């Protein structure tokens, strides 16, 4: 598989990480090496194997729909970058 600089930029865009041209070029070299390593997976036939997503085959636990947490808004917002009147502030999204 061959990656290009524009692929790297597209992935960075999907991941919401700003990347400049120089960084993209450098990243391309490193990612290409890593994907060569990963390619060795393709040598094994897995057509009859079920994917294993988890170490333990356990069923998702369910619980009663009850309130278990107390209101700690002030504590949690005390470490936020920007808050006002109990709300987290971000740049305007809707005109």
Binding site for other proteins (CB under 8 A): 7-8, 11-12, 14-19, 27, 30-31, 33-35, 37-42, 44, 46, 49-56, 58, 60-61, 63, 72, 75-76, 78-82, 88, 90-93
Q: Identify the residue whose tokens are 């009850």.
A: 66
Q: Are 73 and 86 in contact, with CB atoms under 8 Å apart? A: yes
Compute φ and ψ for 83, nearest 5 degrees: -135, 155
């Amino acid at each position: 598989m061959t990656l290009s600089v524009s692929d790297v930029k597209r992935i960075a865009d999907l991941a919401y990480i700003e990347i400049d041209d120089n960084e993209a070029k450098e990243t391309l070299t490193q990612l290409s090496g890593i994907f060569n390593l990963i390619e060795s997976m393709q040598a094994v036939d897995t057509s009859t194997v079920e994917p294993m997503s988890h170490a333990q085959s356990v069923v998702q636990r369910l619980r009663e729909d009850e309130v278990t947490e107390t209101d700690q808004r002030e504590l949690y917002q005390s470490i936020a970058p920007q808050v006002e009147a109990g709300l987290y502030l971000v740049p305007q999204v809707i005109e």
